[in-house]
Structure 1
Amino acid sequence: MAEDFKGIVDRYGRPIAKAALKVEQAAPTGSGVRRHDALHPAAGLTPGRLGGILRASIDNDPESYLALAEDMEERDPHYAGVLGVRKRQVSGLDITVEAAGEDAASVEHADLVREVIERDGFEDELFDIQDAVGKGFSCTEIVWDTSAGQWRPKRLAWRDPRWFVFDQIDGETPLLRDAGQNVPLNPYQWIYHSAKVKSGLPIRGGIARAVAWTFLFKSFTIKDWAIFCEAYGQPLRLGKYDAGASEKDKQILLEAVSNIGVDYAAIVPASMAVEFIKADISGSHGLYKERADWLDQQTSKVVLGQTATTDAIAGGHAVGKTHDGVREDIEKADARQLAASLNRDLARPLVDLNHGPQKKYPRILIGRPEQIDITALVNNVAKLVPLGLKVGMSTMRDRIGIPDPADDEELLGAPKEPPPVDPPAGPVPARPKPGETEQTVHSTAGTSTRDAIERAAADMLADWMPLVSPIAAGLGDEIAIASSVEDVKALLAKRFEGLNVDALTEMLARSAFAARLAGEADETL
C-alpha cells in the first residue's frame, strides 16, 4: 500500500489528505442542510413558478429544481419508466478493464480495478451514478476501507444532489453545502459525473429541465380529464315523485338517490320512481387522452431519442427496429461518458492509493462486446507471430474473453508428441509363401524391399522423362499468356505433334510384359 501520499494530486492539482479519506465528508446529519427532508415543488406548480425555479437553478440556487426533478420521477409514471430504461440499459452493460501494458505491474493494477468492479452491488451503484442523466450531475462518495492494510472502496454512496451547488465563477466545479458554507469535495473521495445530454453548464444539461414543461402541461391535462370523467362519466340517477308529494317525501327520495351512488341500495315509496340515464358522452372528450399521449411521446423523444419502442403508434415493429439505432447511439454516448468518469475518479485513485502515482493507468470500458470472429483472430495471430508480429498475451486474453490464470491454477498446454520411432535396420521381412516356413523366407530375403512391379515402374519413369521433357518445357509460361481456352487447346495440340508415339508405345509394352513375367514368377527381388 502506498503510505506515502507525496506527489499524489487530483485533477485540480490538490494534494491528497490521508486522514480526510477515512471519514465520510457528506454523511447525512439531523440538522443543517444535509437532511433527507421532503420538498415537493410539483404540488400546485404553475408556469410562473416553474419559470422561477429554472431561473433560480442557474443563479446558483438549484435546490428547488433538483427537488422538482425528483418529484417528476415520482408523479409521472411514463417519465419514470423511460428514464429508468435509459439508466438501467447503461448500468447493465458489460464492463471490462484494459491494462496499461503487458508488464507485471500493469497487469496487477488492472486486476485491482477488476476486483472492485466485480463487487456485488456495483451495478446498482452505477445506476445511482446515472442519476446525472435526469438531473445533469451526480456526486457519489467513495467510502474507503483500510482495515486490511489496503485501500478498497467499501461502497459508493449516492448523495442527494440538493446538498451541492456549483462554483459561481466557472459554474462547473461542484461544492458541498456545509453549515452555511460551500466547501470543495475532498480529492480522491468523490465520483463526480456530469451527463452531457446537451452542451452547457452541468445544471442545465439534465433531461429533467426539458421534460419539466411537458410534465407541467400533462398535469393540467390529467387534472381536467379527471374532472370531466367525474362530472360526465357517471350515469345520472333521476328520482321522480307525484305532484302531491310532501316535502318529507321529496327528502326521502333525494336521500335514496344519493345513497344509490354510495351504498348501491335504497328504498322508496311505491308512488316514487328512480330512473338511471346512461352517460352518453359526446363532443371532444378524446382530446384529453390524445394530448396526454402526445406529451408522453415528446418525453420519450427527449429521454430515448425515439417513440416507437415505448408508445403505441402505427407501424409498430418496423419503425421500432429503425429507431433502435438511435437508442444505440445514446447508449454508446452514455457508456463512454460514464467510463470516463470512473477512470478519472475511481480507477486512478484506486491505483495511486495502493501503488503510488503511475505514468499510465488501466482503463475501464463499458459497452456491448464486439462481435469478434475468435477463430479468424486466433488463426491470423498464429500465422503472423512467426513472421515477427508482436502480440501481447494479456491483450489476446481480453479479446477472446479468457481471464488471467491464478498462480496455483493448473494450466493447459499443447499435447506432447510421442518420440519418433526409428525404422528397423535391414529389409522388411517378407511373408512366407504357401509351403514355406518363416525361416526359409528369411534365408532368401535380400537387401531390397522393392518387388518387380515397383522396379518396373521406376524404370518406366526413367525412360518416360526424356520423352515428355521436350513437350513440357516452357509449357506453363505459354499457358499463362493464353487469352482463351481455345488458345490453350491449340497450344497443347501443337506440343503433342512432336511426341514420339512409337517410342512411347514400345516403352509401355516392354514395361507391361516385364510386370506380367514378374507376376507369373512371384518375383520379389
Structure 2
Amino acid sequence: MAIVDIHGRPFEQATLREQQTSRLAQLHAEFADHPSSGLTPPRLARILRDAEQGDIRAQCELFQDMEEKDAHLLAEIGKRRRALTTVDWQVLPPRNPDKTEQAEADWLNEVLQDLPDIEDLLFDMLDGIGKGFSAIELDWQRVGREWLPQEFSYRESSWFQLDQATRTELRLRDGSADGEALNPLGWIVHTHAAKSGYIARGGLYRVLAWPYLFKNYAVRDLAEFLEIYGLPVRIGKYTPGSGPEEKATLLRAVVSIGHNAAGIIPDGMAIEFKEAAKGTHEPFDWMVQWAEKSMSKAILGGTLTTQADGKTSTNALGAVHNEVRHDLLKSDAKQVASTLRKYLLYPLLVLNKGGERDPRRLPRFQFDLVEAEDMATYAEALPSLVNAGMQIPVSWAHEKLRIPIPGKDDAVLGAGQPVAPGAAAARVVALKAQQQSDPLDDLAEQLAGDWQPVADMMAPVQRLLASCKTLDEFRDRLPEVIPELDASEVAELIARGMFAGVVAGRAGAV
C-alpha cells in the first residue's frame, strides 16, 4: 500500500534522502531587498496589496526588517514566542486507546524527548505569529530500521509564494508562475491564525506595519528636532570689507565650533551664540509611546507588563494582564500542537509503523498549560468541605493542585500514624484526670449549661431571619421583633454567674 501524507498526497521514499531546497540554489544565493529603507505610506500599501495577490516576498522581507530595526517589537514578539518553549509537553494517545495506539504514543514520546532541538523547533514555528506562516524543512536520516528527523531547517519566509488559483497553498519560488509544490512528509508548515484571513493576511505584522511606519517618522522627526533646537544658533560677524576668503574662513569656524567645540577666526571677527529656539519633544515622545503601546496590545493583549506604559504600570494591574497573556499562550499552544500532529507525528508513524492511518485516531501533542491552584487555599478549604459532607473526587484534587497520582512503586509522603477516635477520646479523659481540679474551671463548666434563656430570647430573631429573603429585608423588619425580646432572664443569669465567680474567687484565695 502506497504511503500518503496527511492530505492524501502520494509519497516517494527517495525524497527523504535529500532536502527539497538543495536543488534550488538560487534561493540560497538571494539577498534581501530591505523594503523598509525609505518606506512611505503609499509604498507600504503597495507591498501589502501585492501580498494579497500572491506575491509575498516583499511583505516577508519587510516583516524581517521590522524585527531587526525595532527593539520594542522584537522584545514583545520574543516574549510571546519564548513563552511556549518553556512549557512541558507530552504525546498522548487518542481517546479510549487500544494497546497498539498506547504503544505508539509511548514510542513517539521517547523519540521526541531524545531530539535535542525540539525547543528551537517550537520557537521557529511561532515565527508564524507575525508573518502568518512558518516553514521548517525536515532533514530525515536512517537510524537502524527507523526514519528519524536529523535536523529542523528553518527557511526564510521570502523563499515562498502563494498559488495563483486559491492563494492558500505555500510553494517554493522556482521562477515559475505557480512555484514548486512542497514535498509530502518533507515540511512542517505552521500556518498561524493570529487573526482571521488567508495566509497573506493572517500575520500579526500586517497590523503592526502601520505603527512601525509612524514610529519611524516620529523618531526621524525627533532627531531633526534635537539637531535644530538642541544646539544654540551661532552667528558669525565679519568686518566690512572682508573678502571671500575671510568669509569662508569665518563660516568654517562657525560650522566646526558646533561639532568640535573649538575653532579659530581672524582678528576683528566675532561669533555670537544665541539661545536655542523654544520647542518641546513631547509630541514626538507621544507618537513613539502610542506606537509601542499599540504593538504591545496586539502582541501580548495589554501594555501593563511592558515598559511602554511607563509609570502607570503596577504589579497588580500587570498580574491581570498576565492572565490575558495566558489566554494567548493557550491559543498558540493549540495551533502549534495541531501542526505537529499533522506534520511530525503522522510522518513518524507512517514511515516507521506503516499501515493506513485514520487522521481522527492520531496521537495528540499536548502542552501542559493547566495552572496549579493556590495550595494553601485548598489545604484549608478541602477538609472543611469534606467534614460538611461534600464528596470530592481524589483525582479532581490532584488535578487542581498539579500533584500526580502515585504509582504502585512510588514512595509517598505521609503523616504520623493516625489515632483512632476512641483512643483519642480516652487520651483526653486520661489527661484531664491527671490535671488538678480547678474550682473556677468547674464553675465555668456548670454555668455553661445554663444559657438556655439566651436561646429563648433570640428565638423571635431567628424566626424573622428565616422568613426574610434578603438581608435588607431582615434589617428593615428587625424593629418589629424588639418588643418580643425579654432580657430579664438573661440579666438574672449573668448576675448569678458574676456572684458565683466572686465567691469562688474569694474561696480560692483563702
| TM-score for the superposition, normalised by structure 2 | 0.68
Work out the CA distance in 2 between the residues paired with 1:36 and 1:28: 14
Tell me by how many angstroms 1:19 deviates. Answer: 1.1
Q: Which residue of 1 aligns with 2:252?
A: 255
Q: Which residue of 2 aligns with 1:206?
A: 203
**Residue type matched to 1:371 in 2?**
A
**Residue type matched to 1:42 in 2?**
S
Work out the CA distance in 2 between the residues paired with 1:230 and 1:83: 32
Work out the CA distance in 1 between the residues paired with 2:245 and 2:185: 81
What pairs with 1:276-315 in structure 2 (closer than 5 Å)?
276-279=273-276, 281-282=278-279, 284-310=280-306, 311-313=308-310, 315=312
1:190 aligns with 2:191: no
Q: Which residue of 2 aligns with 1:42?
A: 36
- Bigger fraction of residues in helix: 2
Q: Which residue of 1 aligns with 2:445?
A: none
* 1:21 equivalent among 11, 16, 19: 16
Tell me by how many angstroms 1:104 deviates. Answer: 5.2
Q: Which residue of 1 aligns with 2:313?
A: 316
1:150 aligns with 2:146: yes
Work out the CA distance in 1 between the residues paired with 2:58 and 2:407: 50
Contact 1:146–1:152 at 8 Å: present in 2 too? yes
Tell me by how many angstroms 1:261 deviates. Answer: 2.6
Tell me by how many angstroms 1:287 deviates. Answer: 0.9
**Residue type matched to 2:165 in 1?**
I
Q: Secondary structure at the match of 1:26?
A: helix
**Residue type matched to 1:326 in 2?**
V
Residue deviations 1:327-373, cap 9 Å, x none? 11111101110111001111121122111235533211124344279
Q: Secondary structure at the match of 1:151?
A: strand
Pick closer, same or farther for the CA change 1:61–1:7 going to 2, 3 Å. same
Q: Secondary structure at the match of 2:196?
A: coil
Pick closer, same or farther for the CA change 1:42–1:400 going to 2, 3 Å. same
Q: Which residue of 2 aligns with 1:77?
A: 71
Q: Which residue of 2 aligns with 1:474?
A: none
Contact 2:6–2:346 at 8 Å: present in 1 too? no
Work out the CA distance in 2 between the residues paired with 1:278 and 1:403: 78
Q: Which residue of 2 aligns with 1:368?
A: 369
Pick closer, same or farther for the CA change 1:203–1:34 going to 2, 3 Å. farther
Percent sequence identity over matched residues?
37
Pick closer, same or farther for the CA change 1:53–1:268 going to 2, 3 Å. closer
Q: Secondary structure at the match of 2:234?
A: strand
* 2:328 equivalent among 310, 330, 336: 330
Q: Which residue of 2 aligns with 1:215?
A: 212
| TM-score for the superposition, normalised by structure 1 | 0.66
Contact 2:234–2:272 at 8 Å: present in 1 too? yes
Pick closer, same or farther for the CA change 1:186–1:231 going to 2, 3 Å. same
**Residue type matched to 1:169 in 2?**
A
Q: Which has the larger radius of gyration?
A: 1
Q: Return 239-248 or 203-212, whichever deviates more.
A: 239-248
Q: Which residue of 2 aligns with 1:8?
A: 3
Q: Say how many residue pairs are matched.
A: 394
1:141 aligns with 2:141: no
1:60 aligns with 2:61: no
Tell me by how many angstroms 1:144 deviates. Answer: 0.7
Q: Which residue of 1 aligns with 2:91?
A: 97
Tell me by how many angstroms 1:307 deviates. Answer: 1.3
Work out the CA distance in 2 between the residues paired with 1:23 and 1:63: 25
Q: Which residue of 1 aligns with 2:221?
A: 224
Work out the CA distance in 1 between the residues paired with 2:62 and 2:167: 21
CA RMSD of aligned residues (A): 3.6
Q: Secondary structure at the match of 1:169?
A: coil
* 1:169 equivalent among 165, 169, 192: 165
Residue deviations 1:312-331, cap 9 Å, x none? 24531133222222211111
Work out the CA distance in 1 between the residues paired with 2:262 and 2:54: 60
Work out the CA distance in 2 between the residues paired with 1:250 and 1:39: 45
Residue deviations 1:66-85, cap 9 Å, x none? 11111111122222221121
Residue deviations 1:171-209, cap 9 Å, x none? 322222235252322222211111111112121100111
Q: Secondary structure at the match of 2:309?
A: coil
Contact 1:21–1:186 at 8 Å: present in 2 too? no
Work out the CA distance in 2 between the residues paired with 1:39 and 1:402: 57
Pick closer, same or farther for the CA change 1:115–1:252 going to 2, 3 Å. same
Pick closer, same or farther for the CA change 1:372–1:113 going to 2, 3 Å. farther
Structure 1 unaligned residues grouped into runs of 5+: 1-5, 380-388, 406-410, 415-483, 487-525
Contact 1:136–1:195 at 8 Å: present in 2 too? yes
Pick closer, same or farther for the CA change 1:112–1:236 going to 2, 3 Å. farther
Q: Secondary structure at the match of 1:16?
A: coil
